[in-house]
Amino acid sequence: MNIKRYFLFFLLIVLSLSLNAQKKAFTIDDLYKIKNVSTPVLSNSGERIAFSVTESDLPKSKSINSLYVMNTNGSSLISVSDKLPGANSPFWSANDELYVMNKGQLYKFSLETNEAIQITDFYAGVSDPIVSNDGRLVAFTADLFPECGTDNDCNKKLDESSSNGPVQAYIADELLFRHWTDYKGEKETFLVLFDVKENKYQTITSNDVLSGTYMLAGGPKFAFSPDSRVLSYVSTAEKNIASSTNTDIFLFPIGGKEAVNITDANDALDASIVYSPDGKYIAYRTHLIPGFEADRFRVAVYNTQTLLSEVLTESFDYTTDDLSWSADSKSIYFTANAQGYNPVYKVDVQSKNIIKVTDDKSVRGYQISKDEQNLYLTFTTIEKPGEIYSYNVNGSEYSQITYFNKNLLKKLIYVLQNKCG
């Protein structure tokens, strides 16, 4: 009996060594073979997830982006990019219509017919578009010549003149004119409202806070109210934003002329607008110390009925990010950089009680189901690149639902084991 046990043990060792012999150590070339899976974008019905996968072509020094849609259990994977090459930045409408970006314009893509309908036709291009719940309005940012506004012909003429003219230079007499490789140039960043039914573009405001050169607060920088009657946005009255962190949230009534500043009382940063589903609250992130960029981001809410703001996470010792509401408008989910990880938390709006939803994971993005029973999230560990998982909140159980790096991982040996992840 003992001889059989020793033989089986010996056989397992031989098989283990044989399998490892077929693997290799992780190299820089392998790093570029990793497929980066984006944050899951959950449909309003909770039935489907849209996401993108980015691959690197190291010899050609370029990235390849592919857009997919699948059921929430990982089944019925559809490649939208096969039907609409170049599609990216997916999001869903209130009635589960899929919107994507392609070549600087907004499209609506039908998963039933595989047909794409172009929504915008704007010369300057569309950035970070959102669609109102009634489907009639689209808000986006665009870099325009101030003297042209939304006039396509005027912007095209000045653009070609500037690009093809004998002098390829411009004067920058104030900050911020550059952030990393993003230059402001001669244009200004405008918030634009597009009426789909009337086919009419309208500029709402222009401010450097809306531009890509301003990165302090991140996004979202603008949002529609659930009833589609108000467009909220982040802006500032500061003349020199390079020496100030003061930004505010403004409410612009659709069809109106004047926007209302709802955070004027705070001289520090207010940003990252997210409406509650019932429209009663606006959640946002806020600083309390003016001029201090490293201040902790707190979760705050503005009550659209009482017109009062309140900080919910003052007792929470970590900076917050990625806000989203529960379907019943009673709780706000968020992530926080806590002790080397980025788990998901939620705070009760009334009691301010904070609960840690996930364990210690480096969450890159998440979405919560309407019944709050499942979280769909992307996270990474030291030994495993990012994939999309579903997380059963009550059972505290993770289920992997994408496997884009499975074949690569089979060939690699990781020095660090799961316990270090």
Q: Which residues, at least 6 apart from 277, have a Cβ–Cβ distance to it below 8 Å?
A: 226, 325, 327, 328, 329
Q: Determine the average pLDDT of the residues in 178-188.
A: 78
pLDDT tens column, 33-55: 999 999 999 999 999 999 999 99
Residue 79 dihedral angles phi and psi, to the nearest 5°: -90, 105
- Is residue 141 predicted with pLDDT exceeding 90? yes
Strand bridging mode 374-381 / 270-275: unpaired
Q: Confidence class of residue 307 from pLDDT cuts 50, 70 and 90?
A: very high
The count of C-alpha atoms lying within 13 angstroms of the C-alpha of 231, restricted to the half-sphere facing its C-beta, is 28
Neighbours of 81 (CB within 10 A): 19
CB–CB of 191/244 below 8 Å?
no
Angle, alpha carbons 68-74-77 (nearest 5°): 35
CA 208 to chain centre: 20
pLDDT at res. 176: 73
What pLDDT, on a 0 to 100 scale, did the predictor assign at position 363? 96
Task: Give the amino acid at 232.
Answer: S
Tell me whether strands 24-25 and 98-102 are parallel, antiparallel or unpaired.
unpaired
Q: What is the pLDDT of residue 9?
A: 43
138: tokens are 């689209």
Q: Name the average pLDDT for the chain.
A: 90
Q: Would you state the pLDDT for residue 94?
A: 95
Instruction: Write the CB contacts of 60 (distance below 8 Å, at least 6 apart in sequence).
Output: none
Which pLDDT value is given to residue 421? 41
Residue 107 or residue 20, greater confidence? 107
Give the residue-averaged pLDDT of 111-115: 95
Which residue is listed with tokens 């840690």? 356
- pLDDT tens-place string over residues 151-168: 999 999 999 988 888 877
Would you say residue 79 has pLDDT above 70? Answer: yes
Arithmetic mean of pLDDT, 269-287:
97
* Pairing assessment for the beta strands 188-195 and 182-183 based on DSSP bridges: unpaired
pLDDT-derived band at 17, boundaries 50, 70, 90: very low
State how far the Cα of 338 lies from the Cα of 348, in Å rounded to an integer: 19
Separation in Å, CA 237 to CA 5, 90, 241, 261, 272: 78, 32, 9, 10, 17
**Is pLDDT at 359 greater than 80 in this prediction?**
yes
Give per-residue pLDDT as tens, 199-250: 999 999 999 889 877 778 778 999 999 999 999 999 998 888 888 999 999 9
Which of 248, 320, 246 has its CA nearest to residue 290?
A: 246
- The answer on pLDDT for 60 being more than 50 is yes
**pLDDT at residue number 170:** 75
Output the pLDDT for position 16. Answer: 46
Percentage of the chain with pLDDT > 90? 74
* Cβ 120 vs Cβ 194: under 8 Å: yes
Average pLDDT rounded to a whole number, residues 385-389: 95
Percent of the chain with pLDDT over 70: 92
pLDDT tier for residue 97 given thresholds of 50, 70 and 90: very high
Is residue 69 pLDDT above 70, yes or no?
A: yes
- pLDDT for res 178: 74
Per-residue b or e along 20-31, where b marks 16 or more CB atoms closer than 10 Å to that residue's CB: eeeeeebeeeee
Given a cut of 90, whether residue 326 has pLDDT beyond it is yes
